[in-house]
Structure 1
Amino acid sequence: MMFYGSEDVTTVLAEISAHDPRPYAALAAFELIRPVPVVDLAAVASDPSLFDPNRRTMTGSVEFIRSFSEDLSRPVARDGQEHLTYVPTQVLTEYLRYLSPLSVDGITFRSAHNGGTNYVLFTGPEGCVDPGRETPQAILRLQQGTEHVVER
């Protein structure tokens, strides 16, 4: 399991609306309990200059990451084939979570629906706690009083 969230309510509603036809959405705000290192695909750097001898070898890698980030931020057609569209994202996520030499707890990326910032954190319900119920494995704490249902 993973935690999916967005930086702002507008992006949350755009994401939910793309996947759920109901006229309402349940929302809540969470805060980080500790620093959480993430791979930031929402802010991929520009290509290094080909004229910079110390960085020009990075051009291909940066272009791959930018292209992957753009693919990640494209809308997925609900045509029965969406499970295939998600495969590259799932492979990268599983690699970063379990096999990468990087020690990261998630990924940030741009919303396909409004360009806002989304977060995937590598934690399930055990990582999300109520105030005063923090545990060593928890990374997110519910901000009390932020839970509500909104019409879309």
Structure 2
Amino acid sequence: MTPGSLGPPPADHAIKTNRMSPPGVAMTYAAEDRDTALAETADEAGTYAIGEFTNDRELLILDLTRLPDVPSVFTELPDTIGDPRPQLGFLHSISREISRPIARDDRVHVEYVPTQIVTEYVRTAVTIGKRKVDGIRYNSSRHHAATALVLFADQSNLILGKDERPEFNRTDDRWLRL
């Protein structure tokens, strides 16, 4: 197995609707352990390849698994911070939607559209300290109390071996290593 075969698919092979990416948008879905990786990707018994990836730079991840509680409407808030309830309520809601189990089949799941829109917004428009967000950490929908990640990495972000690296596909933003 090679990074190119285990990593994110080429854009023309990203043809299924996924939790956070519509057809045609390649992203890297990962988990923090083998059992969760299998639970998130495998529907039936079989033989599967699992790769361990590392990143070659510090990543900025939106962590939806450790959100602060939404303050009660009776909680007094300092005037200096504004009211965090609407934003926190939204983040809690989108976190639940991302982690909701949905049947895996060949249907186009419209249930994914809201999470895909939010993901695309985070991927393309959100910056923190002039840095773009590199991914989202979320609760696994199929492995209780485990977490998974979507990294905004496609094949151009893979660090490939010389035998896998097409000369026409050069980029300075290779950071995902198998």
Normalising by the smaller structure, the TM-score range is 0.7 to 0.9
Contact 2:27 2:152 (C-alpha < 8 Å) held by counterparts: yes
2:63 aligned partner: 40
1:90 aligned partner: 116
Contact 1:5 1:12 (C-alpha < 8 Å) held by counterparts: yes
Code of the residue aligned with 1:88 in structure 2: it is P
1:1-152 matches, within 5 Å, as 1-17=26-42, 20-48=43-71, 50-54=75-79, 57-78=83-104, 82-102=108-128, 103-114=132-143, 115-130=145-160, 136-142=172-178
* Bigger strand fraction: 1
Aligned to 2:150, the other structure's residue is in SS state strand
Give the unaligned 5+ runs of structure 1: 143-152
Check 1:79–1:136 CA distance in 2 against 1; reply closer, same or farther (3 A cut).
closer
Check 1:34–1:56 CA distance in 2 against 1; reply closer, same or farther (3 A cut).
same
Query: What is the number of residues matched between the two proteins?
Result: 140
Give the unaligned 5+ runs of structure 2: 1-25, 166-170
Check 1:81–1:131 CA distance in 2 against 1; reply closer, same or farther (3 A cut).
closer
Higher RCO structure (Cα 8 Å, ≥6 apart): 1
Shift of 1:82: 5.0
Structure 1: 4+ residue segments shifted above 6 A: none
Contact 1:76 1:82 (C-alpha < 8 Å) held by counterparts: no
Q: Distance in 2 between matches of 1:138 and 1:122?
A: 12
Q: Distance in 2 between matches of 1:107 and 1:69?
A: 10
